[in-house]
Amino acid sequence: MNDKPSATDIDAAIAVGAKVKLATLDTRRDDLLPDRKKAEKQLAEDAAVINTLQDRLFAERTRALLVVLQGIDTSGKDGTVRAVFNETGPLGVVVTPFGRPTEEELAHDYLWRVHRAVPRKGFIGIFNRSHYEDVLVAKVRNLAPADAIERRYGEIVAFEQHLVNNGVTVLKFMLHISRDEQKKRLQDRLDDPAKRWKWNASDLEDRKLWDDYQAAYEKMLRKTSSAHAPWRVVPADRKWRRNAIIASVVRATLEAMNPQYPPVSWKPEEFVIE
């Protein structure tokens, strides 16, 4: 790949199909955006354009964008939000983290809390984890009956179709890191006093289940990458490359949505401000 790939090239490089094998997908992709300086410059440009288009989307108020971020512990979900939307003011952007369901959430179907968090028209919604946990951690840790989990893939595809039909563009990114990279990042959380707050001993339990999680992710990609809401698997061992890739896709998506400032029914010159 050349060192300044187009947004279309980048998107094609991270698209996955129904036969995707996660173990064969490189978590670095040094060939894609090889030059860090150029990638960082591109990220800055993309973030600025995302801000402009977000303003129009907000003004237009007829459609929404939902960005789903999935990935195992330390894969960089928080860092992505910070980097890609760092130019975008808080107005019109809502980030929703999905943790272990509360008692009230558990008393409803698993999509209840998710549907409530879908961005309203004009907004960009970002899911930090998502309904996909209900076929990931729920599967690996047997939190629901196997047949119920099996049904969820189809339910999720239908749910996302419903959102798309109703004016929500759905972008799904899986942040893909290697086992070695996770080890480094977890160690960092022990070593760096500014990162210790992120330490969670239960992450080690999940790390022991690495292979089970990889298998659950692969099945999720295969079963829920649809034409209306495809998955993109982002090589995430290098944070700067991960950020540049995601910003490129978000920007291209907003450009394709092409939101417009709404026309007004009056003439500005009719008003005089004394």
Positions in the binding site for ligand AMP (CB under 6 A): 73, 98-101, 129, 133-134, 137-138, 143
Only one of the segments 48-56, 72-80, 124-132, 179-187 lies at the binding site for Mg ion (rule: CB under 5 A); that segment is 72-80
How far is the C-alpha of 127 from the C-alpha of 118, rounded, in Å?
Answer: 9
Which among 156, 180, 171 is positioned nearest to 233, based on CA atoms?
Answer: 171
If the CB atoms of residues 100 and 267 are measured against Mg ion, the closer one turns out to be 100
Query: Which single residue brings its beta carbon nearest to ligand AMP?
Result: 133
**Residue whose CB is less far from ligand AMP, 142 or 166:** 142
Rounded Cα distance between 232 and 174, Å, is 6
Q: Is 271 exposed, middle or buried (0-12, 13-18, 19+ CB in 10 A)?
A: exposed
**Contact indicator for 176, 233 with CB cutoff of 8 Å:** yes
CA distance 163 to 52: 24
Among Mg ion, ligand AMP, none, the one that 237 touches (CB under a kind-dependent 5 to 8 A) is none
Between vectors from CA 177 to CA 149 and to CA 13, what angle results, nearest 5°?
Answer: 90
Nearer residue to ligand AMP within complex by CB, 101 or 230: 101
Phi, psi of 125 (to 5 degrees): -105, 135
Three-point CA angle 37, 40, 45, nearest 5° = 130
- Which distant-in-sequence residues (6+ apart) come within 8 Å of 242 by Cβ? 76, 79, 80, 175, 234, 235, 236
Q: How far is the CB of 102 from Mg ion (least distance, A)?
A: 17
Contact window for Mg ion (CB under 5 A) among 53-61, 67-75, 113-121, 160-168:
67-75
Cβ proximity to Mg ion: between 73 and 133 the closer is 73
Residues 169-228 that bind Mg ion (CB under 5 A): 203
Closest approach of Cβ 180 to ligand AMP, in Å?
20
128 or 248: CB nearest ligand AMP: 128
CB of 130 to Mg ion, least distance (A): 14
Nearer to ligand AMP, 85 or 98 (CB): 98
Q: By C-alpha distance, which of 240, 235, 208 is closest to 24?
A: 235
Q: How far is the CB of 138 from ligand AMP (least distance, A)?
A: 5
Closest contact distance (angstroms) between CB of 124 and ligand AMP is 20
Residue 98 contact, options Mg ion, ligand AMP, none, Cβ 5-8 Å cut-off depending on partner type: ligand AMP
Total count of residues recorded for the chain: 274
Q: Which residues bind Mg ion (CB under 5 A)?
A: 73, 203
